[in-house]
Structure 1
Amino acid sequence: MGRPRGFDEVTVIRAAAELFSTRSYDGISMDDLVTHLGVHRNSLYKTFGSKRGLYQAALRWSLEHDIAPLIDQVAGAGDLDQALRVAVAEPAAEVGLNLLLLAAVERAPVDQEVADQLSTVLAAFDRAARAAAGPQPPAQGGEDDLAFAVTAAVLGLRLRARSGTAGTDIDQAGAALARRLTQHA
């Protein structure tokens, strides 16, 4: 019988998600993971099989624990203004949105499993935005166009905030967008 695992797998996965949300997948080495997670390299390989295996576990965890609750909050918002405020200002979702962005830009084009996961979560985000927006008149492009635009705006605002661009106030920009969209609804 082998030794019992000397680390909490969920804690390691959560910490890995945080690390993967800050730098590119290729920019993180196994040495970085060992140092950041405080877990021996052999233990990581034994549990996750590879860096990609750990990345996949971290992405799944983040989509379930960071992004899914945010999507639920967006869907439950009373209107588009509140949905945008929730989506851009929810601090608990920052790690998840940052990881989602990096996964979309870096991993999805080269990893079909990541692309499939992101396709599913972005479709859920669109449905949540559609629910928050309520019925839209056909002259505005319909519900699907507006939902897609809201999802794209939230991710774009997160990207701008992440870039550290001077003058980027994600809360202010999100509120301005929400006001503009609700004025024309």
Structure 2
Amino acid sequence: MGRPRSFDEAVAVTRAAAVFAELGYEGASVDDLVQRLGVHRGSLYSTFGSKRALYLRVLRDHVDGLAAPDGNGADLTLLLRAAVERAPVDPEAAALVARGLDALAEHVHPAPGEGPAAALARLLGEHLVRRATHHQEDT
């Protein structure tokens, strides 16, 4: 019989979301995840199976949050990173990104004369500008 899990899985997923949002999938090493989640490598693998499986779990949870009624206020960095980095090479990530974009489109309110696609593009663009200028304001 295996040892009982010594960490909170939900907390680990939340922390992993922050790691993947900050570093991206390719930029986040398993060592980064182990250190920032505060779990042992063996626990990470026994619970999630692989780095990719953990990433897909994180992305799925993020997309589910975007689909919630209050999901429009969520940080979109993870979704945007996934769209650029993983969707072109990972069909499961691409499907989750598409679902996330659809969920956002349901919540965004077009400005007068603006179509739904343009409203979504505006929302995503505004997020990117905020992220880019936020770092400039901190210096």
The TM tier, using the shorter chain, reads 0.7 to 0.9
- State the structure with more CA Rg: 1
Where 2:25 maps in the other structure, the secondary structure is coil
1:166: Cα distance to partner?
4.8
Whose relative contact order is higher, 1 or 2, with alpha carbons under 8 Å and at least 6 apart?
A: 1
* Equivalent pair of 2:79/2:100 in contact (CA under 8 Å): no
Rounded to whole Å, the distance in 1 between the matches of 2:57 and 2:40 is: 17
- How many residues align? The count is 136
Aligned partner of 1:151 among 120, 125, 128: 120
What's 2:67 paired with?
68
TM-score by length of 1: 0.66
Aligned partner of 1:108 among 87, 95, 100: 87
TM-score by length of 2: 0.86
Tell me the amino acid that sits aligned with residue 68 of structure 1.
A
Rounded to whole Å, the distance in 2 between the matches of 1:25 and 1:127 is: 27
Rounded to whole Å, the distance in 1 between the matches of 2:70 and 2:3 is: 42
Tell me the amino acid that sits aligned with residue 51 of structure 1.
K
Give me the identity figure in percent. Answer: 45
Structure 1 123/6 Cα, relative in aligned 2: closer, same or farther at 3 Å? Answer: same
Task: Show CA shifts across 1:87-145 (max 9, x none).
Answer: 4xx3xx12xx110010001000010001111112212222333xx459x8xxx5xxxx7
* Equivalent pair of 1:14/1:62 in contact (CA under 8 Å): no
CA RMSD of aligned residues (A): 2.2
Gaps of 5+ in 2: none
Rounded to whole Å, the distance in 2 between the matches of 1:63 and 1:100 is: 8
